[in-house]
C-alpha cells in the first residue's frame, strides 16, 4: 500500500458520497418520505440521529467506503491484516489535556479519563467483544434466516409466567439502557430528511428511490422499513470495518436525565435554586413530550414514571442542599444535586438491580485509567433488550392498599394528563412497585410483537424483527460464537441442553437449520435462568463484563477515592443508604407505605409494607454531611 492507494480510495469514497446528493433529491421530489402518524414515523422519532451525530457519521461513512475500495482493489490483502496496519495505541495526553481541572463530570463524558479524554464520550463508537460478522468483513450483513420468519415464529409464543419481581425491574433496566446506550439511525446525508425504505403499502420501493442506507425487513409479501445505524470512527483506527455510534455517553452517569451535551443540559435547567425543569414540551406533531436528556423516556409510561421520579429527586436534593448551604449559587446547587443523584443511580444499579439479573455482586475492583470504558455493541444492541420479555399486556393501577382498580393497555398512548395528574403519577409508581414482571424467555406480549408504535388496534411493528435486524446490521456474531467465547458447549443443538430446555431447543431448531445461525438476542433469551438469577449464563456473563467495565473505567464513579473531588467517608455512608424504595417514598405526592425492597413483590413476612416515614426499614440519606465548611 502506498500514498496513491489511499488518495484514490479517498477520492472514490468522496465521489460515492457526493452522488448521494442527487439520489436524495430524487427521493425527496418523488415524495418518498416518512408519513406522519404511522408506526414507522414513531419508531423514527425515537431512533433518528441529531445533527451532531449526522455530521460525525458522514466522515465515518466516507472512511468505510475508502476502506472497502482498498480491500476490493488489493485482492491479496485480508481484512484482518489490513485493519491491523491502522491500529494505533491511544496517546497519553494527561499532561496537556486540562482534565484535572474538572471538579464535576462533564455532560458529554469528555475528560472522564485524564489520559485519553475522548474515551467514553458521546457520539463515539461502541466497542466489540468479538470481531464483527459481515460477509465482506466490512459492512455487508450476513445472509441468514429471514428476519420476518424469526419474528413471526417467536411471536406465536403465548405463555405468561409471572415472577416475584415487580415492573420496577423493567423500568430500571430501561433506565440503565437509555443512560448508557443510544443507537441512532441514519438520515439522508445531504438533505437531513428521514429515510423511508418501503412504500406506505409496505411494499418494496423501486431501486431508483431506495436509499443505500436502507436495510428493509423483507418477506415474500411485506416490506418493513429499517434504516441502518449511524457509524462513528474509532479513535484508534483510521480505516477498518463498520463501527456503530453510541450517541449517549458510555458511562452510567445520568445522561438520560441531564443530557449528553452541554446544550441539552442547559435547556433542561430552571436556572433557579439548582432545579431541573419538570415540564411538558409541545412536540412538532403536537403531542406532549416529557423534557428529558433524550426523547426515549416518552416511549412508555414505565420509563416516563421512573424518569419523573429521578427529576423530582434532583429537585428535592437541590432544595435540601439550599437550606443547608444558603450561600450556594444555582450552579453549585445543580452540580452537587446532580452528583448525588448519579451516585444514587449507580448504587441502586449495582446493589439492587444487577444481582437480581446475574445472581452475583460484582467484586469491588478499583478504577483503571487504562481500561477502555466504551460499551460493547453486543450489550447495547442485543443483551439488554431482554427487558421486552419482562412486560405483560396490561398495566394495572392500584390504590394505597395495593388493590387493583383499573387497567391500561401496555400500548397506551401518552396524553398530557399522565404527567400533570399527581394522582395518576402515584398510581403508576404503585404499579411499578406492585405488578409482577414476566419471566425472561421467548414469550413477548403482543404489545411489542404486533402493536408496537401503533394507535388503537391497527397493526404496528414487531420488536423481535427489529432487534434481530439491528443485530445483522451491526454485524453481531452469532449466539454460538459468544458461547464459545465464554467456554460454554456449543457444537450442536444437543450441546445447548444444559442451558436451553428441550421445548426451546426444538423451537430454535425449527427456526434455524444450523445452530451456528442462532442470533445472539434469540439464543440468549432462550436460555433457562442460572441458579439465583433471572438471566441465563450467556447474557449474565455478557452483562456482568460490561457492568464491571462501566464501573472500573469511570473516573467519577461514586465510590472511587482517587477522583478529583471524592465523596467524604460520611457522605459515602449516606449514599449507600439509597434504595429504589426510598426514591418512591420521597418523590410521590401522597404515598404513605412502601415495601422495603421495591424490586420485589411485597410480602407480609419477608418484604412487608412499612410507613414511608420510618427510616429504620427504608433508610434515608442525611444531607447534613454536605454542609460547606
Inter-residue contact 30 to 196 (CB < 8 Å): no
Written as nine digits, the cell of 267 is 435547556
Q: Taking a C-beta distance cutoff of 8 angstroms, is the pair 223, 197 a contact?
A: yes
CATH for 155-180+250-626, options being 1.10.10.60, 1.10.640.10, 2.40.128.110, 3.40.190.10: 1.10.640.10
In Å, how far are 206, 215, 517 from 469, measured between CA atoms?
A: 21, 8, 13
> What length does the chain have?
629
Residue 388: name the closest of 198, 157, 229, 542 by CA.
Answer: 157
Closest CA to 463 of 2, 43, 87, 62: 43
Query: Residues 495-540: pLDDT tens digits?
Result: 999 999 999 999 999 999 999 999 999 999 999 999 999 999 999 9
Tens digits of residue pLDDT in 58-77: 999 999 999 999 888 876 77
Q: How much of the chain exceeds pLDDT 90, in percent?
A: 75
523 grid coordinates: 439464543
Residue 307 in contact with residue 268, Cβ under 8 Å? no
Bridge-based pairing of strands 436-438 and 404-409 is unpaired
pLDDT digits (tens, 9 = 90+) for 269-326: 999 999 999 866 544 444 556 778 888 887 888 998 999 999 999 999 999 999 999 9
Please check the confidence at residue 470 and state whether its pLDDT lies above 80: yes
Which H/E stretch holds residue 268? helix 262-268
Dist. CA 515–CA 496, nearest whole Å: 9
Q: Output helix, strand, coil percentages for the chain, rounded to the nearest 5.
A: 45, 10, 45
139-189 pLDDT per residue, tens? 999 999 999 999 999 999 877 799 999 999 999 999 999 999 999 999 999
The helix (run of H) or strand (run of E) holding residue 551 is helix 537-552
pTM: 0.95
The answer on pLDDT for 587 being more than 90 is: yes
- The string of DSSP codes covering 614-627 is -TTTS----GGGG-
What average pLDDT does this structure show over 462-486?
98
Residue 82: strand, helix, or coil: helix
What is residue 301's predicted lDDT score, i.e. its pLDDT?
Answer: 86
3-class SS of residue 422: helix
Predicted confidence band of residue 423 (pLDDT cuts 50, 70, 90): confident
347: left (phi over 0), alpha (psi -120 to 50) or beta: alpha
d(CA 330, CA 29): 50
Residue 471 confidence (pLDDT) above 90: yes
Which residues, 6 or more positions from 541, have their beta carbon under 8 angstroms from its beta carbon? 486
Lowest-pLDDT choice from 18-32, 340-354, 394-408, 473-487: 394-408
E strands, 112-151, in order:
124-125
Closest CA to 404 of 415, 392, 412, 395: 395
Whether residue 484 contacts residue 343, with contact meaning beta carbons closer than 8 Å, is answered with no
- Secondary structure class of 224 (helix, strand, coil): strand
CB contact at 8 A, 549 and 127: no
* Beta bridge pairs of residue 165: 600
The ranges assigned to domains in the chain are 155-180+250-626
Classify burial at 549, counting beta carbons within 10 Å of its beta carbon; exposed 0-12, middle 13-18, buried 19 or more.
Answer: buried
Q: 265, 208, 177, 250: which is closest to 32 by C-alpha?
A: 208
Q: Are the CB atoms for 504 and 442 separated by under 8 Å?
A: yes
CB 172 within 8 A of CB 579: no
- DSSP 8-class letter at 31: T
Residue 491 CA to residue 364 CA, distance in Å, equals 35
544 backbone dihedrals φ, ψ, rounded to 5°: -60, -45
pLDDT of residue 417: 46
Confirm if 469 and 217 have CB atoms less than 8 A apart.
Answer: yes
Amino acid at each position: 500500500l502506498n500514498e496513491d492507494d489511499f488518495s484514490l480510495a479517498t477520492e472514490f469514497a468522496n465521489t460515492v458520497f457526493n452522488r448521494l446528493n442527487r439520489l436524495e433529491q430524487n427521493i425527496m421530489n418523488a415524495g418518498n418520505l416518512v408519513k406522519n402518524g404511522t408506526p414507522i414515523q414513531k419508531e423514527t422519532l425515537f431512533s433518528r440521529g441529531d445533527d451532531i451525530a449526522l455530521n460525525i457519521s458522514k466522515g465515518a461513512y466516507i472512511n468505510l467506503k475508502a476502506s472497502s475500495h482498498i480491500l476490493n482493489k488489493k485482492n491479496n490483502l485480508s481484512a484482518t491484516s489490513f485493519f491491523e496496519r491502522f491500529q494505533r495505541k491511544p496517546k497519553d495526553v494527561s499532561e496537556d489535556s486540562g482534565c484535572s481541572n474538572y471538579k464535576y463530570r462533564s455532560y458529554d463524558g469528555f475528560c472522564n479519563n485524564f489520559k485519553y479524554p475522548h474515551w467514553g464520550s458521546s457520539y463515539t463508537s461502541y466497542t466489540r467483544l468479538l470481531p464483527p460478522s459481515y460477509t465482506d468483513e466490512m459492512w455487508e450483513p450476513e445472509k441468514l434466516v429471514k428476519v420476518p420468519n424469526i419474528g413471526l415464529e417467536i411471536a406465536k409464543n403465548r405463555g405468561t409466567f409471572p415472577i416475584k419481581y415487580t415492573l420496577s425491574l423493567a423500568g430500571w433496566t430501561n433506565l440503565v439502557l437509555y443512560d448508557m446506550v443510544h443507537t441512532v439511525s441514519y438520515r439522508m446525508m445531504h438533505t437531513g430528511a428521514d429515510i423511508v425504505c418501503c412504500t406506505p403499502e409496505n411494499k418494496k420501493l423501486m431501486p431508483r428511490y431506495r436509499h443505500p442506507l436502507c436495510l428493509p425487513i423483507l418477506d415474500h409479501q411485506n416490506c418493513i422499513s429499517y434504516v441502518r445505524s449511524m457509524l462513528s470512527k474509532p479513535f484508534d483506527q483510521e480505516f477498518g470495518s463498520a463501527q456503530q455510534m453510541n450517541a449517549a455517553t458510555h458511562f452510567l452517569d445520568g445522561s438520560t436525565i441531564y443530557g449528553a451535551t452541554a446544550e441539552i443540559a442547559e435547556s433542561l435547567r430552571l436556572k433557579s435554586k439548582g432545579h431541573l425543569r419538570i415540564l411538558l414540551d409541545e412536540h412538532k406533531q403536537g403531542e406532549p413530550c416529557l423534557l428529558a436528556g433524550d426523547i426515549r423516556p416518552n416511549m412508555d409510561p414505565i420509563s416516563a414514571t421512573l424518569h419523573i421520579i429521578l427529576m423530582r429527586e434532583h429537585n428535592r436534593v437541590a432544595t435540601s442542599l439550599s437550606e443547608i448551604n444558603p450561600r450556594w449559587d444555582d450552579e453549585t446547587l445543580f452540580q452537587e444535586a446532580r452528583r448525588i443523584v448519579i451516585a444514587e443511580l449507580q448504587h441502586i444499579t449495582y446493589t439492587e438491580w444487577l444481582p437480581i439479573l446475574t445472581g452475583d455482586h460484582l467484586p469491588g475492583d478499583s478504577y483503571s485509567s487504562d481500561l477502555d470504558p466504551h460499551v460493547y455493541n453486543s450489550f447495547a444492541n442485543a443483551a439488554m433488550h431482554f427487558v421486552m420479555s419482562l412486560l405483560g399486556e396490561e398495566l394495572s393501577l392500584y390504590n394505597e392498599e395495593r388493590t387493583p382498580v383499573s387497567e391500561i393497555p401496555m400500548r397506551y398512548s401518552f396524553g398530557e394528563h399522565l404527567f400533570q395528574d399527581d394522582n395518576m403519577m402515584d398510581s403508576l409508581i404503585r404499579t411499578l412497585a406492585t405488578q409482577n414482571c414476566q419471566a425472561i424467555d421467548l414469550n413477548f406480549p403482543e404489545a411489542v410483537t404486533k402493536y408496537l408504535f401503533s394507535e388503537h388496534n391497527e397493526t404496528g411493528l414487531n420488536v423481535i424483527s427489529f432487534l434481530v435486524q439491528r443485530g445483522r446490521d451491526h454485524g453481531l456474531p452469532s449466539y454460538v460464537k459468544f458461547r464459545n467465547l465464554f467456554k460454554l458447549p456449543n457444537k450442536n443443538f444437543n450441546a445447548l441442553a444444559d442451558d436451553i430446555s428441550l421445548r426451546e431447543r426444538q423451537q430454535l431448531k425449527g427456526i434455524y437449520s444450523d445452530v451456528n445461525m442462532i442470533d445472539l438476542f434469540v439464543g440468549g433469551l432462550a436460555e433457562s435462568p442460572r441458579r439465583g438469577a433471572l438471566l441465563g449464563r450467556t447474557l449474565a456473563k455478557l452483562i456482568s463484563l460490561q457492568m464491571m467495565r462501566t464501573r472500573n473505567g469511570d473516573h467519577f464513579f461514586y465510590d472511587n477515592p482517587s477522583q478529583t473531588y471524592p465523596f467524604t467517608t460520611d457522605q459515602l455512608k449516606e449514599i449507600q443508604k439509597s434504595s429504589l424504595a426510598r426514591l418512591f417514598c420521597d418523590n410521590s405526592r401522597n404515598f404513605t407505605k412502601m415495601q422495603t425492597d421495591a424490586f420485589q413483590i411485597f410480602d407480609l413476612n419477608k418484604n412487608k409494607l412499612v410507613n414511608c416515614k420510618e427510616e429504620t426499614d427504608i433508610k434515608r440519606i442525611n444531607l447534613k454531611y454536605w454542609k460547606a465548611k
